[in-house]
């Protein structure tokens, strides 16, 4: 019984402190304050506050779920949820106290005590496992000195600087406002509110676990839909703008935020529909699978047709601003599909993909520009240059691929990264300035003209991206099932074995690099035509990382995964502008989390997930 209790306590403590650290972290890097700008429901709550509530809610849910596994009673689960909520708020509360003028002494005191506390805890642990006395005293002293240096330095910094904010700019008034729910001046009230809200959210999480499944699903669905619509209020408004008249729009939105009554209505409607789905969804699915094959195919076909229709009509459904986002997403889909040939199919981790993108963009820029750097006076049009850009990128891909053919995987990654950096530095250098304009880049790139119509708006450019993506998709699907595709797969699995099987690895690898470069070149050319100017700052290592992230998150070697990855990773920061400051924070975290938890991606390719599973099994067998 006692062991069970301590195990439960540990679950609650770990989860609570983890989510507490999360809240503290996103506060300290400025996410909470930045998201405060975006209200989810008018005058009710904002995205920043939503995060503060969502974290204890989710953790409370998870904690209660774990507690239920250990057959805890209802009240234990609710107590657990409350405890998780309080723990979630705890680190933030401590930082609030440290940050305030009256309780500053706590910070000084903590910094003085921490070395001794840490050292003593460690010494006690050493004592428990029966280390000898000299080791215990020695490590106690060493830890006191080492941790002491750090805390002493921090104390000195804060002493001289006077304020936490001078060092940590995001522990700002805005942050204090959000976490105290606008009780900046009555700190204790604010802290109390925070603790209360957090504990309440944690308890609500546990109650969710206790609720019967159908209402729970309905409620979660309703909440989810409402919050997502609210958070993406601007996007939703932009879409509605195209299809609904102004007065109705005004009833629903105040500028970009959802008004209260529509939000309530949306919540009710989506909860009811969620309820209906939870209740009858199973039957509907069963009914569908019981249909005759021909009928089922017909239903599927209609679905596909509707989807294709939506994709075709998309720019006219979503308006100009969102079409622009769609074009950006499309460019990244294109690059994702291209890089996937190297990374996903052939297993070559190319970190210099931006090279091809830059080559395509610069070729288009220099050949078609009507500005001072385009010396050809617009003789070439967009359509004539696209194949040139494609070929040029292929050549670049080929040239950069030859030297790295013999390298092993990790060195290849770093070498391609080096190529990317070299290209970036050359583009910005004075040496090539007469040709490609140095830091100012190339301006005045004309828009493509199709059948006499200038495709100057994103709505029209969308179709170019769509066609290019479809072509690439087709090619990459065909490649995947071709002889070459199988060769790549063999190389990905084991290069030595592939060679032994008689595969010309040099040729196959070169082909992978060149084909993947071609797509990058086209993407670059479309990008150049879209933006109208090309300058070196658009071509940094971040582009490569962007593309890599969307492949990894979507699913290596999975075409639908890449599309999903691009929509989420590129679309999200464009739609939630507050987010874009944190996009690389998110990408970095996602790469780490995906590699640890879900290396096959969110929409995995069947083959790869099979391989990973068997691979893990083989690894475990080898470890035994």
Partner 1 sequence: MQPMFKWKTDDFSWVDFTIDVLRVIIVLGVVIGAWNTLSSGRISFAQWVNLFAAGLSQGSIYALIALGYTLVYGILLMINFAHGEVFMAGAFSTVFLAEALNRTGFLNAQPLLAILLMIAFAGLVSMSVAILLERIAYRPLRGSPRLVPLITAIGAAFFLQYTFRGLYGSGFKAYPGVHALQGAIEIGGISIPVVQVFVFCAALFLMLCLYWLVERTRIGKAMRAVSENKEVARLMGIDIDWVIMFTFGVGGFLAGSAGVINGLFRPQGVNFYMGFIPGIKAFTAAVLGGIGNIPGAMLGGLFLGVIEAIGPNLVLAGLGIPGANQLKDVIAFTMLVLVLIFRPQGILGERLSETKA
Binding footprint of partner 1 on the chain (CB under 8 A): 25, 28-31, 146, 149-150, 153, 156-157, 159-161, 167-170, 347, 349, 351, 402-411, 413-415, 417-419, 421-422, 425-426, 428-431, 506, 541, 545, 548-549, 552, 582, 584-585, 587-592, 595-596, 599, 615, 619, 623
Q: Which is nearer to partner 1, 24 or 82 (CB)?
A: 24
Q: Which is nearer to partner 1, 135 or 276 (CB)?
A: 135
- The whole-angstrom separation of Cα 489 and Cα 141 is 56
- The whole-angstrom separation of Cα 556 and Cα 239 is 32
Q: Which is nearer to partner 1, 372 or 588 (CB)?
A: 588
Minimum distance between the CB of residue 326 and partner 1, rounded to whole angstroms? 26
Minimum distance between the CB of residue 590 and partner 1, rounded to whole angstroms? 7
| Residue located via tokens 């099987």 | 501
Decide if 343 contacts 350 (C-beta within 8 A): yes
Minimum distance between the CB of residue 609 and partner 1, rounded to whole angstroms? 15
Q: Residue 364 contacts by C-beta under 8 Å, 6 or more apart in sequence?
A: 382, 385, 386, 389, 445, 524, 525, 528, 529, 534
Q: Which is nearer to partner 1, 243 or 614 (CB)?
A: 614
**Helical ranges in 481-582 per DSSP H:** 483-493, 495-500, 505-531, 541-554, 559-566, 572-575
**Helical ranges in 129-185 per DSSP H:** 133-161, 164-167, 173-179
Minimum distance between the CB of residue 198 and partner 1, rounded to whole angstroms? 22
- The whole-angstrom separation of Cα 449 and Cα 382 is 7
Minimum distance between the CB of residue 497 and partner 1, rounded to whole angstroms? 14
Minimum distance between the CB of residue 577 and partner 1, rounded to whole angstroms? 16
- The whole-angstrom separation of Cα 38 and Cα 231 is 7
Helix (H) or strand (E) holding 40, with range, is strand 39-41
Minimum distance between the CB of residue 553 and partner 1, rounded to whole angstroms? 10
Q: Which is nearer to partner 1, 172 or 321 (CB)?
A: 172
Q: Which is nearer to partner 1, 167 or 501 (CB)?
A: 167
| Gyration radius of the chain's alpha carbons | 29
Minimum distance between the CB of residue 214 and partner 1, rounded to whole angstroms? 37
Helix (H) or strand (E) holding 74, with range, is helix 74-99
- The whole-angstrom separation of Cα 414 and Cα 545 is 13
Minimum distance between the CB of residue 597 and partner 1, rounded to whole angstroms? 9
Q: Which is nearer to partner 1, 174 or 460 (CB)?
A: 174
Q: Which is nearer to partner 1, 78 or 178 (CB)?
A: 178
Written as one string, the DSSP assignment of 294-362 is: HHHHHHHHHHHHHHHHHHHHHHHHHHHHHHHHHHHHHHHHHHHHHHHIIIIIT----S-THHHHHHHHH
Q: Which is nearer to partner 1, 142 or 298 (CB)?
A: 142
| Residue located via tokens 């979503």 | 318
């Amino acid at each position: 019984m006692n062991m069970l209790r301590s195990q439960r306590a540990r679950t609650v403590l770990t989860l609570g402190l983890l989510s507490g650290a999360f809240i503290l972290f996103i506060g300290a890097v400025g996410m909470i304050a930045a998201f405060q700008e975006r209200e989810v429901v008018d005058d009710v709550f904002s995205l920043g506050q939503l995060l503060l509530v969502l974290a204890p809610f989710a953790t409370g849910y998870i904690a209660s779920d774990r507690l239920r596994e250990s057959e805890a009673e209802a009240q234990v689960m609710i107590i657990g949820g409350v405890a998780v909520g309080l723990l979630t708020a705890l680190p933030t509360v401590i930082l609030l106290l440290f940050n305030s003028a009256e309780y500053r002494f706590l910070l000084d005191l903590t910094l003085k005590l921490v070395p001794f506390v840490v050292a003593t805890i460690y010494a006690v642990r050493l004592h428990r496992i029966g280390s000898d006395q000299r080791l215990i005293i020695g490590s106690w002293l060493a830890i006191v000195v080492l941790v002491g240096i750090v805390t002493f330095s921090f104390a000195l910094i804060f002493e001289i600087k006077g304020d936490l904010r001078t060092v940590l700019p995001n522990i700002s008034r805005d942050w204090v406002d959000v976490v105290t729910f606008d009780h900046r001046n009555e700190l204790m009230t604010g802290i109390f509110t925070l603790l209360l809200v957090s504990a309440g959210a944690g308890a609500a999480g546990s109650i969710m676990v206790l609720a019967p499944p159908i209402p729970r699903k309905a409620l979660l669905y309703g909440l989810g839909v409402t919050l997502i619509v609210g958070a993406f209020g601007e996007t939703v408004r932009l879409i509605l703008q195209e299809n609904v008249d102004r007065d109705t729009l005004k009833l629903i939105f105040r500028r970009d935020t959802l008004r209260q009554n529509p939000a309530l209505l949306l919540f009710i409607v989506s909860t009811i529909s969620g309820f209906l789905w939870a209740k009858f969804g199973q039957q509907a699915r069963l009914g569908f699978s019981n249909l005759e094959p021909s009928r089922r195919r017909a239903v599927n076909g209609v679905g596909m047709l509707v989807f294709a229709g939506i994709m075709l009509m998309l720019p006219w459904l979503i308006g100009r601003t969102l079409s622009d986002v769609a074009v950006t997403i499309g460019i990244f889909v294109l690059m994702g599909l291209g890089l996937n040939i190297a990374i996903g199919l052939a297993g070559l981790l190319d970190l210099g993909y931006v090279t091809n993108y830059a080559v395509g963009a610069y070729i288009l820029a220099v050949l078609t520009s009507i500005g001072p750097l385009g010396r050809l006076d617009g003789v070439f049009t967009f359509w004539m240059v696209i194949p040139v850009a494609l070929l040029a990128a292929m050549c670049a891909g080929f040239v950069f691929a030859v030297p790295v053919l013999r390298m092993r995987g990790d060195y290849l990654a770093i070498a391609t990264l080096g190529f990317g950096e070299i290209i970036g530095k050359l583009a910005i250098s004075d040496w090539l300035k007469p040709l490609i304009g140095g830091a100012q880049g190339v301006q005045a790139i004309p828009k493509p003209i199709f059948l006499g119509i200038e495709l100057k708006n994103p709505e029209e450019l969308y179709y170019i991206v769509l066609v290019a993506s479809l072509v690439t998709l087709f090619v990459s699907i065909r490649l995947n099932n071709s002889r070459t595709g199988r060769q790549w797969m063999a190389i990905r699995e084991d290069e030595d074995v592939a060679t032994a099987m008689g595969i010309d690895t040099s040729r196959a690898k070169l082909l992978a690099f060149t084909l993947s470069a071609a797509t990058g070149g086209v993407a670059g050319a479309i990008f150049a035509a879209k933006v109208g100017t090309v300058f070196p700052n658009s071509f940094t290592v971040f582009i490569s990382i962007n593309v890599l992230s969307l492949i990894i998150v979507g699913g290596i070697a999975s075409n639908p995964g890449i599309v999903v990855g691009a929509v989420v990773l590129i679309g999200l920061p464009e739609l939630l502008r507050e987010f874009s400051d944190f996009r690389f924070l998110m990408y970095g975290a996602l790469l780490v989390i995906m590699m640890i938890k879900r290396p096959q991606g969110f929409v995995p390719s069947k083959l790869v997930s099979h391989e990973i599973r068997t691979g893990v099994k083989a690894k475990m067998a080898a470890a035994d």
